[in-house]
Chains A and B, each alone.
Chain A
Amino acid sequence: MTFYRSLLGLAAACGLLALGAGAQTTITLTSSGSNLVTFSSTGNGTVDATLGNCSNSQCTLTGGAEGTFNGSAVSGYTINLGQLTPLTNNGGGSFSVSAADLAGSSFDLSGASGTVFSGAFTALNFTDTANDTVAINATVQGSGSSSGTTINIKGSIQLDGANVEAVANSPYPVAVSGGIVPEPTTLLLFGTGLLCLGGLMRRRLGAMADGESV
């Protein structure tokens, strides 16, 4: 009994933590659908990034998102960016998009009732977090009806075998691409929640079976 109470307490704490994180207007990008983020190099020590599919020097990346904005749950995003100049190498596997390239960008969040947020990037960074995972961290400044609002964006790109720094340091022209995937921590939280629910259901079913037999 004590064990189940502890488990319930843990689940409640997890839920509160998740709600708390949501209140800080941090939006997590969970997928990029069939679009890919590409890092390429011409072999000169620099690296370029391409977000999604491009046409007439304009690239679009769409996908799923999670978090809340103004009390509304968000479910998707659309990013529009021009074709970027080489990223700025900050060292330690961290690369950022220049402020000039972010001018003219747009970032929209959608929910059940349509667009819930519109804005433009003020910062966009990519960081190698493992040999095949790149973290996206961005800040978006609202425009239009969202004007004056700043939100934080985070996401995780799954590459394979290589990372951004390896691309930047390659003596030959190379490119690696990957899609945005749910963060492992998000998956862990989801798994913990499912485990809690499973435990509660088992307990309930067990109690019902005991009641019937008595």
Chain B
Amino acid sequence: MKHSWLVTVTLVGCAWMLSTTAARAQTTIEMSNSAQFIDFYTGSTPGTLDVILGWEPGVNFTGNHTLNGSLQAGAPGNGAFSLTSFDPLSLTGNGAGTFSANSGELASSVFDISSGSGTAFQGMLTALSFSQALSGSNVVTMQAMVQGTGSFASTVFKLLGSIVLAPGGNINGVANSNTTVDEAGIIVPEPATALLWLTGLGFLAGCAYLRRRSAFEVTL
């Protein structure tokens, strides 16, 4: 009882941290992989780019495509997503490596998060953009805003993904090419997440090593 104020402060602090974490989970969802390609190809006018979400080599460019994959830990449902859109989507460059979709073309998109037995979330994209991460890097960052419909009408969240192209590939080059060229890659866990995973694994390995070592010393 002597330190009840300390206990209260700790509990309030924990509650605040949990609420912050929960709020973050509700507003940003990260995609960790895609089973199909995201394909960028030279647009019809110089400096523009077209994108297909869910392309496969040898399949026709125009029409409905579905990009399937999984979300990172903390996402609603069982973490499996599917994004259907009528492709190609036209992207406009801002001159600094970021290309954005025209919102009108996103109106027919459907973004689902599966719950295993059904749908945990259903919505549509209201904004979509792609940007090259760093000069010389072949990583493209995908950002989207998703607006839920039906029972999720009030839910808006930000979708993040990291697309890896072939070494040397870049969407600026594709957009500004004199001939029609394209680059396609899949969504992979972003480097920061991969680093966190590696750090965690390293920590666990270190713990295991220390436990084995101390057990060995006790035996001696």
Contacts and interface: CB of A to CB of B under 8 A. Distances in A.
Contacts of A66: none
A83 B181 CA distance: 20
Contacts, number: 98
A178 B57 contact: no
A175 B173 contact: no
A54 to B, nearest CB: 4
Interface residues of B, number: 26
Contacts of B57: 38, 40, 48, 50, 175
Contact of A172 (B58, B60, B186): B186
B106 interface: no
B41 interface: yes
Given A160-B173, A178-B181, A173 B186 contact: yes
Interface in B163-220: 164-170, 173-174, 177, 179-186, 188
B111 interface: no
Tell me which of A36, A54, A161, A166 has the highest count of chain B C-beta atoms within 10 A of its own C-beta: A161
Contact of A162 (B165, B180, B186): B165
A174 B164 contact: yes
Contacts of A174: 164-166, 169, 183-186
Contact of A159 (B37, B58, B181): B181
A30 interface: no
A85 interface: no
B183 to A, nearest CB: 6
Interface of A: 34, 36, 38, 40, 48, 50, 53-55, 59, 83, 131-132, 158-163, 166-167, 169-170, 172-179, 181
Given A54-B58, A160-B173, 16 more contacts: A36-B182, A38-B58, A50-B57, A160-B181, A161-B168, A161-B170, A162-B167, A167-B166, A172-B164, A175-B184, A175-B185, A176-B182, A177-B183, A178-B182, A179-B180, A181-B179
13 contacts: A38-B58, A40-B57, A59-B58, A160-B177, A161-B168, A170-B166, A172-B186, A174-B169, A175-B37, A175-B39, A175-B57, A177-B184, A178-B180
